[in-house]
Amino acid sequence: MPISIPLGILYLSSYIRKYNDVGRLGILDYVLDSGKLSAYPTGRDFIRHLALNQVSFAPDILAFSFIFSASHDFFALCLDELKTIWPEAKTVVGGFHATNCTRQVLENQNVDYVIRGEGEIPFSDFIKQFSTSGSIAVKGVYSKQSVVQTPSLVLADPITDLDRIPFPDWDLIYSFAILA
């Protein structure tokens, strides 16, 4: 399987580090280790092993980049297993699939929030609100409750000043973020 650099995640990480007070940031990339999948009895074992061996802290937020609709089954399995490991973590899902299928993604019992559109600004605002009040009111960020009350879902505001985005966080070369 060809492996590509997840630039979206690297930019998101650098933005979060610049504009938020985040204690620890860890990244998992199941694609990177997908060649080892056959060494595990089940997909759940693969997911669990990598999570427990690559993340040394209990995250407050599990942030998923859900780009491709075809990865839905793996996303659901991964989310289910990671919530078993870290049941207190809030889950935030972004990416093309989450943006285009917000209501369907929120139907998953383990999904707490979906970000629609570009994620840097709304995810940064989400983290600030989550850290201080626990109450989330960010344009383009939806929960199970807010999506029911909103007939027309809007996108988050796009970044208009590209100079606000720092260079990619090259220390992290994996495809979904875990924040604490």
Q: Three-state SS across the chain?
A: CCCCCCHHHHHHHHHHHHHCCCCCEEEECCCCCHHHHHHCCCHHHHHHHHHHHHCCCCCCEEEEECCCHHHHHHHHHHHHHHHHHCCCCEEEEECHHHHHCHHHHHCCCCCCEEECCCCHHHHHHHHHHHHHCCCCCCCCEEEHHHHHCCCCCCCCCCCCCHHHCCCCCCCCCCCEEEEC
- Of 1-5, 110-114, 148-152, the least confident: 1-5
Instruction: Examine the pLDDT at 71 and tell me if it is beyond 60.
Output: yes
Q: What is the mean pLDDT of residues 122-149?
A: 90
* Maximum average pLDDT range among 73-77, 82-86, 162-166: 82-86
Instruction: Examine the pLDDT at 147 and tell me if it is beyond 60.
Output: yes
Question: Which of 56 and 101 is assigned the larger pLDDT?
Answer: 101
Q: What is the mean pLDDT of residues 53-75?
A: 87
pLDDT of residue 180: 46
Instruction: Examine the pLDDT at 85 and tell me if it is beyond 60.
Output: yes
Instruction: Examine the pLDDT at 148 and tell me if it is beyond 50.
Output: yes
Indicate yes or no: pTM above 0.85.
yes
Domain boundaries of the chain, sorted by first residue: 7-179
